[in-house]
Amino acid sequence: MALTIKFANIEDRDLLVDFFSKHLEKDNDWIYSEEFTCPYGIKRAINRNQIVIAKDDKQIIWALRFYPQKKKDITSLYQFAIIKNRRWKELLKTMLRETKNKTIQSRCKKEAKFNEYYKKTGRKLIKTDKHGNLRQLEL
């Protein structure tokens, strides 16, 4: 089985909608906005080359959605999802390198359990504000 990492294209849209609906829970405290699970939002992100996927043959096993900030060489990581039995540490960093920026930022609500994941994976806390904790990862 060959693993392929690439930007999602319009042919992947239905697979992505299905993948995110199965692997993201809308009431989890770490999802920043429900827009990220919306089929129309997914289509817009695909059109802007803002979703990177990892496929094992025809199945999506990882997907991440990001936004490249215009004024800085920083990528904002919006969401990512992984099939449970395919989790391994370096794949996320490999996929994030596709964004072409060395600095990755992500925000998580202050009380979200997902903050522990960000701490464990070496993200530096940049600031805490009304929107939550902003953390940064250098690739």
* Number of compact structural domains in the chain: 1
Angle between helices 13-23 and 39-47 (to 10 degrees): 130
Q: What is the pLDDT along the chain (139 residues), one digit of tens a residue?
A: 688 899 999 999 999 988 988 887 666 665 556 676 788 989 999 999 999 999 988 789 999 999 888 888 899 888 888 887 776 657 777 888 888 888 888 888 888 877 787 888 788 889 998 888 888 888 7
Residue 119 burial (CB count, 10 A): 13
CB 102 within 8 A of CB 138: yes
Predicted pLDDT at 112:
80
Predicted pLDDT at 31:
59
First-residue to last-residue Cα distance in the chain: 27
Burial of 79-93, coded b for 16+ CB within 10 Å and e otherwise, reads: bbbbbeeeeeeebbe
Domain that holds residue 107: 3-138
Which two tokens mark 80?
């990512």
Task: Report the run of H or E that residue 115 belongs to, with start and end.
Answer: helix 115-120
Q: Which runs of E-coded beta strand occur in 8-123?
A: 51-56, 59-68, 74-82, 103-108
Predicted pLDDT at 117:
77
CATH of the domain at 7: 3.40.630.30
Predicted pLDDT at 33:
61
Predicted pLDDT at 32:
52
